[in-house]
Amino acid sequence: MSPADRARIAELLQDESLSFREIARRCGYSDHTVRRIWREITHDPRPIRNNRGFQPSENTESHPSAAGAVAVASLIGLLIIAAWAFMRQMPPGSWE
């Protein structure tokens, strides 16, 4: 980013009627970049959230993953299909 672009973003940030997204659209940068510059200007100590660097918490046992739920659902589905196929091959009245 050039110093001129950064100065333009800083100038637009002075206008409180503009959103970060609108400023980003006008300057050709992402709203994430505009937020980062705003935080640098205002000396906001909070870190910017970055999903790409997301690290799960240490206690992941209480939150089952979606893959685990899919695996359990698939296993149950296969058992139901196997039971249906087994019952279908039996002659009528033999399982009563």
pTM of the shown model: 0.47
Residue 40 lies in a domain: yes
Domain of 17 in residue numbering reads as 1-48
pLDDT at 63: 57
Residue 91 lies in a domain: no
Write down the pLDDT at residue 80: 95
Return the ∠ at Cα 20 (arms to 17 and 25), rounded to 5°.
105
User: Comparing 44 with 75, which gets the higher pLDDT?
Assistant: 75
For 29-83, the DSSP string reads S-HHHHHHHHHHHHT--SPPP-GGG----S--TTS--HHHHHHHHHHHHHHHHHH
Domain presence at residue 38: yes
Is 70 exceeded by the pLDDT of residue 39? Answer: yes
Confidence at residue 62, expressed as pLDDT on a 0 to 100 scale: 53
- Is residue 65 domain-resident? no
What pLDDT sits at residue 91? 74
Name the percent of the chain lying above pLDDT 70.
Answer: 77
For 65-90, write each residue's pLDDT tens digit: 788 888 899 999 999 999 988 888 87
Count of structural domains within the chain: 1
* Domain annotation covers residue 2: yes
28 located within any domain: yes
Residue 25: inside a domain: yes
Mean pLDDT of the chain: 81
